[in-house]
């Protein structure tokens, strides 16, 4: 009896504890960044309020260009991803292929951003795989052409690489949102009025879906504006984007650069907040336009073609992502692969064998961090959801909307201040510190992917079991969890993939001393042997893919085994 | 990365420097005693980790010292040696006068100067090492004078570097190689877009500009003195006028630069450029051997000679495992270790030893090393020019950043 009461009390604490776990570091981190942005950091002689950091920021060489580049790439990536994702959903929702879409794009979702970016870099270089495949026969280029792709001043490779990752994410979010609206019935009605499937979807379903995917779209926008690893790998260097500039200054041996770095972090935060507000306004304008368009009621079969084109673009992006990963795989087993050969000279396992020793340590760290973060996040999220279910609130508790915060606040803006805090506590560079920052991101993603299936559970199973005399614990372990195991496993795989792919949190909280496959792969991407990069990026991508595979195949396998018995 | 060092670095300038001197005043223990105390220690060797071959070599060193002397090596992988310097500064500021986290650091140039000026080094250490007597102090001048500052035994030399250009002889005949800064400009005019240099924030890029500065100057000796505000503009005017002509002729019209030497090597291997630069005369041979460059690569230097320097290891004043660090430093000077480092299948860096001080069987270790057509003969490399004073490098890098920022 006492045990049950204690468990119940613990459960009641769960939402507060969960929010504390990741709101505390964000809040403390933001404060720790704002103070030096206005000149306050006594340890470095910053004793009073001053605008000097902002002056230093605005006078830094290339600052204006960096700012424009950041806005341009962040917004372009988000708009492109959103358009393609909507087009794909509009064009494919009524086809059988649309239903299998989820299975096709899940692997792209598991891929770490940095691994994709590294693979894409080799694909689109003037001496890269795409040009090699066509040269010199089709292009006439006996030497690689002297034009810029990776590192182009406009930053278009950043936009492309972000779209590779964000289109699958948004498509999945839209597919998920479709389950929340009576789409099928409304579509049938619209089709009966003579509208094509794409137009019917855009006019009737999209307005409802847009509101449903508002937060995911905003997360994409915030992420695209503040991404570090992708911009480091594919973006220009002189100047880079604002977020990369911050990271570069933080790593400068001269500690006085901390002040303009803090100011730049705050500027990025302001930029993201303004962009999110602008997004909200743009969405309202789009809704109004869609409504006027629907009211006019013109049947426009051409819409179908436009949607098909967007879907084609989406499929091309998926193919590009697959080719990126394939190029990494090929490099990891190549002997030599020189311009203009379309394929490596020969194949060998030598690189893998040589790298095995160095790969092992960071691989073990990646695994340990990922598993620990996933298990802790899972315990917290399950407790929160159970608490919500037992409290029988009709609507999800509003406090938990704060879960989106880590996905909306730019990472550099709070990680920087958090680092100061960790140093004070003597925790910087520890496994614990890195694990904590991983939790900040693992908890929200896990919650977001598990909340809907959990809330969709039919509570009559629980009530029947309770009435038969089973305890709440027993019902949870024997009835509810087994029934919900498939979504729990998928959500756990998502959390693991998030942890495995984190670059900046690992780098900053780990003070450069905690090496994961992701931090090492990004470091190597600045010029190491492509065969070596290939092994690191492949392994980096293999971990989350394996987690997804296990999450999907696990329940099916156990069911089959049970049937054999 | 934001390190603890950042928060404490400024305070570091304040405390007096007597503690490092106190450490220096202790009597030098006999080598057997060093070996006895070193057994069981783990040496945290802070070393730039941008080169896989060197990383492998450091791992090999650790395996050897563990087997022979019970001293393990933990390679702390750095992106920039300055990280280790500021770590020691921060420890000193925090009052950690022993038990420090850095035992051994791969260092030279401005970083070595900074550590010495702030009294952050333990030593002199070279006289303590049995193999220290084998170091060439007469012909390999950079072993004793680092970037114009006498080393005074405060750091242990372990590999030599010399600036060379590397080209693919299948595309550029060795006889046509441009052997001066002016000839390089003329070559670039005929071959626009086929030359680049690493970003000047990287030491490889700044060394290219220093090499051009020395080659273009009528009086290279002046760079042995610190740069002054007044003298800098006049002394570097020929460099910038040359560079302003060269830059539009570079790869990507000089609007984009590879981040480091390895990225630049990748460009040569991809056929995007025809000439790259390196600080290791055997890089062409090492890279060809490893499949990173075609077998047809060769090296050349400017006819007037090229800049060379020495890489050292040094021990911070507060190192927790000083004896272990001494054992590792001594092992690096072992003729067998030096021969392995010079092997093009390993890192291929020239040894720091004086051949005349070696026993015949030790000399044979070097004579038996594999040859490669891309490995230049020392006579082909020409005169080794001394590094300019560190202040020139700092100022040139800043000026380049100002000139190229968009």
pTM (2 d.p.): 0.85
Bond from prior residue into B124 cis (ω within 30 degrees of 0): yes
Walk me through the domains of chain A, giving residue ranges and CATH numbers: 1-50+359-565 (1.10.3720.10), 61-348 (1.10.3720.10)
H-run or E-run covering A218 = helix A214-226
Residues of A in contact with B120 (CB under 8 A): none
Residues of B in contact with A526 (CB under 8 A): 259-260, 262-263
The Cα–Cα gap between B294 and B287 comes to: 8
Q: State the nearest Cα–Cα gap between A62 and chain B, in angstroms.
A: 5
Identify the closest residue of chain B to A142 by CA–CA distance. Answer: B271
Q: State the nearest Cα–Cα gap between B248 and chain A, in angstroms.
A: 13
From A61, A255, A526, residue closest to B6, measured CB to CB: A255
Residues of B in contact with A41 (CB under 8 A): 7
**A and B: number of Cβ contacts within 8 A:** 130
> Is A225 in contact with A142 (CB distance < 8 Å)?
no
Sign of the torsion formed by the C-alpha atoms of A81, A82, A83 and A86: positive
User: Does B256 sit within 8 Å of A338, measured CB to CB?
Assistant: no
Tell me the two tokens of residue A175: 């597919």
Residues of A in contact with B5 (CB under 8 A): 255
Mapped onto helix, strand or coil, the DSSP state of residue B160 is strand
User: Does B82 sit within 8 Å of A511, measured CB to CB?
Assistant: no
Which of A118, A127, A255 is the mutation pick for testing B, counting most B CBs within 10 A? A255
Residues of A in contact with B55 (CB under 8 A): 358
**What is the secondary structure of A130-143 as a DSSP string?**
HHHHHTTTTT--SS
The Cα–Cα gap between A533 and A518 comes to: 11
Q: State the nearest Cα–Cα gap between A193 and chain B, in angstroms.
A: 57
Closest CA to A76 of A163, A170, A140, A15: A163
Residues of A in contact with B256 (CB under 8 A): 148, 151, 236-238
Identify the closest residue of chain B to A423 by CA–CA distance. Answer: B4
User: Does B260 sit within 8 Å of A527, measured CB to CB?
Assistant: yes
The Cα–Cα gap between B304 and B130 comes to: 37
**Strand B156-162, strand B306-314: pairing:** antiparallel
How big, in percent rounded to 5, are the helix, strand and coil portions of chain A?
A: 80, 0, 20
User: Does A336 sit within 8 Å of B255, measured CB to CB?
Assistant: no
Residues of B in contact with A420 (CB under 8 A): 2, 7
From B3, B256, B270, residue closest to A127, measured CB to CB: B270
Confidence class of residue A438 from pLDDT cuts 50, 70 and 90? very high
Angle between helical axes of A485-501 and A113-124 (0-180°, round to 10): 60
User: Does A253 sit within 8 Å of B83, measured CB to CB?
Assistant: yes
Name residue B78's beta-bridge partners.
B48
User: Does B262 sit within 8 Å of A253, measured CB to CB?
Assistant: no
Residues of A in contact with B1 (CB under 8 A): 250-251, 507-508, 511-512
Tell me the two tokens of residue A42: 């006594």
User: Does A44 sit within 8 Å of B406, measured CB to CB?
Assistant: no
> Backbone dihedral region of A353: left (phi > 0), alpha (psi from -120 to 50 degrees) or beta?
alpha
Residue with tokens 């971990």: A543
> What is the Cα Rg of chain B in Å?
21
User: Does A148 sit within 8 Å of B255, measured CB to CB?
Assistant: yes
The Cα–Cα gap between B246 and B191 comes to: 11
- Which residues does B94 contact at the CB level (< 8 Å), separation at least 6? B4, B8
H-run or E-run covering B275 = strand B275-278
From A61, A258, A428, residue closest to B4, measured CB to CB: A428
Identify the closest residue of chain B to A424 by CA–CA distance. Answer: B4
User: Does A250 sit within 8 Å of B256, measured CB to CB?
Assistant: no
Residues of A in contact with B79 (CB under 8 A): 251, 512, 523
H-run or E-run covering A328 = helix A302-332
Which of A238, A261, A362, A533 is the mutation pick for testing B, counting most B CBs within 10 A? A238
- Tell me: ipTM over 0.90: no
> Is B275 in contact with B195 (CB distance < 8 Å)?
yes
> Is A510 in contact with A369 (CB distance < 8 Å)?
no
> Is B308 in contact with B350 (CB distance < 8 Å)?
no
Of the ranges A295-304, A399-408, A516-525, the best mean pLDDT one: A516-525
From A146, A423, A528, residue closest to B7, measured CB to CB: A423
The pLDDT of residue B29: 60
User: Does A250 sit within 8 Å of B406, measured CB to CB?
Assistant: no
Mapped onto helix, strand or coil, the DSSP state of residue B250 is coil
Residues of A in contact with B199 (CB under 8 A): 237-238
Closest CA to B93 of B318, B283, B306, B251: B318
Which of A128, A146, A531 is the mutation pick for testing B, counting most B CBs within 10 A? A146
From B76, B260, B270, residue closest to A339, measured CB to CB: B270
Between A94-103, A127-136, A511-520, B337-346, the lowest mean confidence (pLDDT) is in A94-103
Confidence class of residue A6 from pLDDT cuts 50, 70 and 90? low
Name residue B146's beta-bridge partners.
B149
User: Does B259 sit within 8 Å of A237, measured CB to CB?
Assistant: yes
Residues shown for chain B: 406
User: Does B401 sit within 8 Å of A125, measured CB to CB?
Assistant: no
> Backbone phi, then psi, for A39, in 5-degree steps?
85, 5
The Cα–Cα gap between B275 and B185 comes to: 12
Identify the closest residue of chain B to A505 by CA–CA distance. Answer: B1
Closest CA to B101 of B325, B278, B307: B325
Closest CA to B184 of B198, B171, B194: B194
Residues shown for chain A: 565
User: Does B83 sit within 8 Å of A44, measured CB to CB?
Assistant: no
From A143, A148, A253, residue closest to B252, measured CB to CB: A148
Which of A527, A532, A536 is the mutation pick for testing B, counting most B CBs within 10 A? A527
More confident residue, A208 or A10: A208
Q: State the nearest Cα–Cα gap between A433 and chain B, in angstroms.
A: 14
Confidence class of residue A541 from pLDDT cuts 50, 70 and 90? very high
Closest CA to A541 of A118, A168, A233: A118
Residue with tokens 């951003």: A113
* Average pLDDT across chain A, whole number: 88
Q: Number of helices (H) and strands (E) in chain B: give both, helices first.
A: 16, 11
> Backbone dihedral region of B193: left (phi > 0), alpha (psi from -120 to 50 degrees) or beta?
left
Residues of B in contact with A529 (CB under 8 A): 52, 262, 290, 292
From A44, A143, A251, residue closest to B7, measured CB to CB: A44
Q: State the nearest Cα–Cα gap between B154 and chain A, in angstroms.
A: 23
> What is the Cα Rg of chain A in Å?
25
> Backbone phi, then psi, for B70, in 5-degree steps?
65, 30
Residues of B in contact with A528 (CB under 8 A): 50, 52, 262
The pLDDT of residue B179: 95
Share of chain A above pLDDT 90, in %: 47
The Cα–Cα gap between A355 and B59 comes to: 12
Residue with tokens 């790969």: A359
Identify the closest residue of chain B to A245 by CA–CA distance. Answer: B1
Q: State the nearest Cα–Cα gap between B329 and chain A, in angstroms.
A: 23
H-run or E-run covering A418 = helix A411-425
Angle formed at CA A447 by CA A427 and CA A516, multiple of 5 degrees: 40
The pLDDT of residue B19: 37
Q: Kindly state the average pLDDT of the residues A194-218.
A: 88
DSSP state of B170: T
Q: What is the pLDDT of residues A363-422, one digit of tens each?
A: 999 999 999 999 999 999 999 888 888 776 555 556 666 878 888 999 999 988 888 778
Tens-binned pLDDT, residue by residue, of chain B (406 aa): 444 444 334 333 333 333 333 344 444 568 999 999 999 999 999 998 878 889 899 999 999 999 999 999 999 888 778 888 878 887 887 778 888 889 999 999 889 998 998 899 998 999 999 999 999 999 888 999 999 999 999 999 999 999 999 999 999 999 999 999 999 999 999 999 999 999 998 889 999 999 999 999 988 889 999 999 888 999 999 999 999 999 999 999 999 999 889 899 999 999 999 999 999 999 999 999 888 999 999 999 999 999 999 999 999 999 999 999 999 999 999 999 999 999 999 999 999 999 999 999 999 999 999 989 999 887 788 888 989 998 898 899 989 988 887 6
Identify the closest residue of chain B to A236 by CA–CA distance. Answer: B256
Residue with tokens 């099928």: A184
- Which residues does A525 contact at the CB level (< 8 Å), separation at least 6? A114, A117, A118, A121, A232, A233, A533, A537
Which of B2, B205, B345 is the mutation pick for testing A, counting most A CBs within 10 A? B2
The pLDDT of residue B15: 35
Tell me the two tokens of residue A446: 């896990």
Residues of A in contact with B2 (CB under 8 A): 250, 258, 416, 419-420, 423, 508, 511
């Amino acid at each position: 009896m006492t045990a049950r009461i204690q468990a119940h009390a613990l459960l009641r604490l769960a939402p507060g504890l969960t929010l504390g776990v990741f709101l505390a570091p964000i809040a403390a981190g933001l404060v720790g960044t704002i103070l030096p942005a206005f000149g306050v950091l006594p340890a470095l002689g910053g004793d009073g309020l001053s605008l000097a950091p902002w002056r230093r920021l605005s006078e830094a060489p290339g600052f204006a260009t960096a700012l424009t580049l950041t806005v341009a790439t962040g917004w372009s990536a988000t708009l492109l991803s959103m358009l393609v994702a909507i087009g794909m959903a509009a064009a494919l929702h009524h086809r059988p292929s649309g239903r299998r879409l989820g299975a096709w794009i899940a692997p792209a979702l598991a891929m770490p951003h940095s691994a994709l970016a590294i693979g894409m870099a080799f694909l689109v270089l003037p001496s890269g795989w795409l040009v090699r495949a066509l040269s010199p026969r089709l292009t006439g280029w006996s030497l690689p052409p002297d034009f810029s792709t990776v590192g182009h001043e406009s930053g278009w490779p950043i936009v492309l690489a972000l779209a590779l990752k964000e289109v699958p994410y948004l498509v999945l979010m839209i597919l998920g949102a479709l389950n929340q609206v009576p789409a099928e019935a409304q579509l049938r009605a619209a089709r009966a009025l003579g509208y094509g499937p794409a137009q019917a979807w855009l006019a009737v379903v999209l307005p409802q879906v847009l509101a449903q995917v508002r937060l995911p779209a905003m997360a994409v926008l915030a992420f695209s504006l503040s991404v570090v690893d992708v911009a480091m790998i594919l973006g220009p260097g002189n100047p880079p984007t604002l977020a990369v500039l911050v990271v570069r200054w933080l790593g400068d041996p001269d500690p006085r650069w901390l002040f303009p770095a803090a100011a730049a972090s705050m500027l990025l935060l302001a930029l993201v907040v303004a962009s999110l507000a602008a997004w909200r306004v743009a969405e309202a304008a789009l809704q109004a336009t869609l409504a006027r368009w629907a009211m006019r009621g013109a049947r426009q079969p051409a819409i179908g073609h436009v949607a098909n084109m967007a879907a084609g673009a989406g499929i091309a992006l998926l193919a590009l992502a697959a080719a990126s990963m394939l190029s990494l795989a090929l490099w990891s087993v190549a002997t030599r692969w020189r311009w203009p050969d379309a394929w490596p000279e020969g194949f060998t396992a030598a690189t893998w064998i040589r790298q095995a020793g160095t790969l092992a340590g960071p691989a073990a760290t990646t695994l340990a961090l990922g598993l620990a973060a996933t298990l802790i996040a899972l315990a917290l999220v399950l407790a929160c959801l159970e608490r919500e279910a037992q409290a029988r609130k009709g609507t999800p508790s509003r406090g938990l909307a704060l879960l989106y915060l880590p996905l909306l606040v730019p990472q550099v803006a709070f990680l920087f201040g958090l680092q100061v805090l960790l140093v004070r506590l003597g925790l910087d560079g520890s496994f614990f510190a890195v694990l904590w920052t991983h939790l900040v991101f693992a908890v929200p993603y896990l919650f977001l992917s598990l909340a809907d299936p959990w809330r969709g559970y039919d509570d009559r199973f629980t009530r029947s079991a309770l009435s038969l005399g089973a305890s709440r614990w027993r019902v949870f372990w024997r009835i509810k969890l087994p029934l919900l195991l498939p979504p729990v496993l998928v959500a756990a795989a998502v959390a693991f993939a998030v942890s495995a792919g984190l670059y900046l949190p690992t780098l900053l909280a780990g003070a450069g001393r905690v090496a994961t496959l992701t931090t090492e792969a990004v470091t190597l991407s600045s010029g190491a042997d492509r065969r070596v990069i290939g092994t690191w990026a492949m392994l980096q991508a293999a971990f989350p893919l394996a987690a997804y595979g296990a999450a999907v195949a696990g329940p099916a396998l156990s069911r089959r085994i049970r049937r054999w018995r | 990365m934001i390190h603890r060092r950042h928060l404490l670095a400024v305070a570091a300038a304040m405390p007096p420097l007597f503690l490092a001197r106190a450490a220096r005043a202790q009597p030098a223990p006999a080598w057997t005693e060093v070996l006895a105390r070193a057994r069981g220690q783990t040496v945290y060797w802070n070393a730039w980790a941008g080169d896989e071959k060197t990383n492998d070599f450091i791992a090999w060193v650790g395996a050897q010292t563990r087997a022979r002397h019970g001293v393990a090596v933990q390679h702390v992988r750095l992106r920039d040696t300055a990280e280790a310097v500021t770590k020691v500064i921060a420890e000193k500021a925090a009052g950690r006068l022993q038990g420090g986290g850095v035992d051994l650091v791969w260092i030279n140039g401005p970083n070595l100067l900074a550590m010495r000026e702030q009294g952050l080094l333990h030593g002199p250490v070279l006289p303590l090492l049995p193999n220290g007597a084998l170091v060439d102090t007469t012909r390999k001048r950079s072993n004793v004078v680092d970037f114009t500052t006498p080393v005074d035994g405060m750091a242990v030399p372990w590999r030599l570097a010399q600036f060379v250009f590397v080209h693919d002889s299948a595309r550029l005949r060795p006889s046509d190689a441009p052997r001066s800064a002016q000839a390089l400009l003329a070559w670039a005019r005929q071959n626009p877009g086929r030359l680049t240099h690493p970003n000047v924030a990287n030491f490889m890029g700044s060394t290219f500009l220093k090499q051009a500065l020395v080659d273009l100057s009528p009086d290279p000796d002046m760079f042995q003195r610190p740069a002054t505000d007044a003298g800098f503009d006049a002394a570097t005017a020929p460099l910038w006028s040359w560079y302003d002509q060269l830059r539009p002729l570079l790869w990507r019209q000089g609007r984009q630069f590879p981040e480091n030497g390895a990225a630049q090597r990748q460009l040569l291997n991809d056929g995007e450029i025809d000439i790259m630069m390196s600080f290791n005369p055997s890089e062409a041979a090492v890279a060809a051997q490893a499949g990173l460059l075609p077998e047809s690569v060769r090296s050349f230097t400017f006819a007037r000679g090229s800049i060379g320097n020495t890489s050292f290891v040094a021990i911070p004043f507060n190192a927790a495992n000083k004896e272990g660090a001494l054992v590792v430093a001594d092992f690096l000077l072992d003729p067998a270790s030096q021969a392995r480092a010079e092997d093009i299948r390993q890192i291929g860096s020239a040894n720091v030893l004086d051949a005349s001080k070696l026993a015949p069987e030790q000399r044979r270790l070097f004579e038996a090393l594999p040859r490669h057509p891309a490995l230049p003969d020392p006579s082909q490399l020409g005169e080794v020019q001394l590094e300019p004073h560190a202040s020139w490098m700092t100022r040139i890098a800043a000026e380049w950043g100002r000139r190229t920022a968009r």
